[in-house]
Structure formats: C-alpha cells, structure tokens
Amino acid sequence: MDETGERPVDRRGFIKGSAVGAAAFAAPGKMMTDRTDEAEVHAADAHEHDHGHDHGHDHDHDHQDVPSDIALRVRALESVLIEKEMVDPAALDEIVDNFENRIGPQNGARVVARAWVDPGFRDRLLADGTSAIGELDYLGGQGEHMKVVANTDSVHNLIVCTLCSCYPWPTLGLPPVWYKSSAYRARAVIEPREVLREFGLDLPEDVEVRVWDSTADIRYLVLPQRPAGTADMTEEQLAELVTRDSMVGVARVASPSSGGGR
C-alpha cells in the first residue's frame, strides 16, 4: 500500500507517538485514507459477528481505526522485543529523537566549512577522514570509517550505495528518498554525468567524475569547492552555505551572490 500521498505527520508528534501502547496511529482520517486499508479493515470486521456497525462508515465506528498492516507488523516486532527485554523503549525514542533533531547535514556542513578556513584541518581530513571528523565529534553509528573526497577544478566526486543505502549518518543524517531509489543506485555508476545533469549540474567534459560506492564498512563525504565571493565570510557563515546535496556530490555549493543553496 502507499502512504506517500499523505501529509507527513508532525515530527515532534512522532517521538511522543512512538511510546509503546499509546494510540499513536489513531488520528482520525489519518490511516483510513488508503483504499487498501479500508478493504482490510472491512474484511477483518466481517469476522466480528457481535459487531453491529455500519461497515460503510468507518469514521463513525465507536472503536479506533486499525493501523495499516505494515504499522501493525512494526508494532508487533517492537512489543515482542520490548517484552523480551531485548530493547529498551526509552533507547528507541532517543534514537529517533537524535535523528529528527540533532543529526543532519548541518554536521557535515561544519566539517566542510572548517576545511575551507583551516588548511591544516583540510589536509588531515583528506588524509584520514575518520580521525579529522572525530576532532569535531561527528563520529558514531554508520560513520565509524569515513573517507572524504575533495572536488577540484578537474575532479568531481559523487557518492552512491549501489546495493542498499549506506550513508554517513553522523555527518549527513539519514539519506534522502532519491538516494535510496533503484534509479539513483543503478544510474549513478552507469551514467553519472546524466544523473548530475538531472540534478542541474552540467559538468564540462574535461572534468573527471569519480563515483564512490559506499558500503557498510566505509562511508564517503564529498568536500565541495569553496564558492567565489566568500573570502570575507566566517566559518559559521560558510557552513550555512553548504547543502546536503553538495556533500553527496549531486550539486555544487552556490556562491552567496547567486542566491545560495537551498
């Protein structure tokens, strides 16, 4: 089934809502907009012989809407594992909270800005990404082994994970939808120039494109080129210019005079 047409729910609401046993999925109209869901619920209700409901009007039911099948599968996994004390619900909430609120491309942007203003840091970053990023304390799960690759006038780097979705979480957060798509995973290595063109980056033929295939063991981060017109900017101001896409390699960092990145 496809929930993607629905409005994303409020981020903060998620964290609270993920508490086990809470009626997190019962927002009226939320889970019942999918036709497949309705069909499933009707089929399930048909087994409830003591129910006197009008099955044509789900929202008038005096009980709660049943979540989608996939949500129930996750709920089942979670409650079984918590019951067996294999996971701690508070620890689960903390992981989600971290990714929703604290870990994201702003971390990678600070690494890039530091490299732009501090040549010594830049050298260390390119020689041993893991230890240099560790200086800024942005290591952690799925970022234990980092390799940073620098764009130059003659080389442009692009990051992909052809097999799944390996991505440097501590510096970039979780990957965007397109990074996880079949199309990007296949095409980034087959026709990287065309992929970059679709992202609005038309590279001259004399610029070499290097594609880096991430794995569970090593993650890459692109060090984009510092744009023109930024000589007077502070490290903090520079970090504001650096976008997620530029650190994956599907964009350049725009000069502030040209409107900046998004």
List the interface residues with another protein, window 42-71 (CB under 8 A): 44-45, 48, 62-71
Phi, psi of 13 (to 5 degrees): -60, -35
- State both tokens at 56: 């044509």
Helix axes 105-117, 119-127, angle to 10 degrees: 120
List the interface residues with another protein, window 170-209 (CB under 8 A): 173-174, 176-187, 189-190, 195, 198-199
**Would you call 246 a catalytic residue per the annotation?**
no
**Would you call 161 a catalytic residue per the annotation?**
yes
Whose tokens are 């010594």? That residue is 120
Q: Which is nearer to another protein, 84 or 206 (CB)?
A: 84
Q: Which has the closest alpha carbon to 226: 154, 151, 168, 156?
A: 151
**Would you call 214 a catalytic residue per the annotation?**
no
Q: Which has the closest alpha carbon to 129: 139, 119, 118?
A: 139
> How many residues belong to the site for another protein (CB under 8 A)?
87
Closest CB 2 distance from another protein, rounded Å = 7
> Is residue 116 within the footprint of another protein (CB under 8 A)?
no
Annotated catalytic residue, options 79, 131, 164, 181: 164
Closest CB 118 distance from another protein, rounded Å = 27
> What is the distance between the alpha carbons of residues 190 and 223, in angstroms, rounded to a whole number?
22
**222 three-class SS:** strand
Binding mask 128-167 for another protein (x = CB under 8 A): -------------xx-------------------xxxxx-
CB 129 within 8 A of CB 147: yes
**Would you call 131 a catalytic residue per the annotation?**
no
Q: Which is nearer to another protein, 102 or 118 (CB)?
A: 102
> What is the distance between the alpha carbons of residues 185 and 169, in angstroms, rounded to a whole number?
18
> Is residue 102 within the footprint of another protein (CB under 8 A)?
no
> Is residue 39 within the footprint of another protein (CB under 8 A)?
no
- State both tokens at 170: 């501590």
Annotated active-site positions, please?
A: 161, 164-166
